[in-house]
Amino acid sequence: MKSHESNHSDENQRKKQFSSLAAVRKAHTFNVLEMCDGCRAKAAEILGMSEKELRRQIKTLDIACVNGKAKKGANRNRLSKGGRTDE
């Protein structure tokens, strides 16, 4: 029979094997944005959502930048260095 401490350790191991849904969504969204070089329009299309929904998801999940800070007046569909949109 396993001790209480051993059961607690097994439970922690199981938790480490699985990510939260938010963590999975964040990683997937970031990977798609990275694949699209930070272009929100293209990423939104791939993810099957509107750009507005993607912007909301980027903010909600606190997704960092993928392609560096855009120059002033540059394409507004790209993420800036801090992970925020240039709007």
Distance of CA 58 to the CA centre of its chain: 7
* pTM > 0.85: no
* 6-40 pLDDT tens trace: 566 777 666 667 788 989 999 999 999 999 999 99
CA-based nearest residue to 57, from 25, 13, 18, 12? 25
* 53-87 pLDDT tens trace: 999 999 999 988 776 543 333 444 555 545 544 44
Question: Domain locations in the chain?
Answer: 22-72
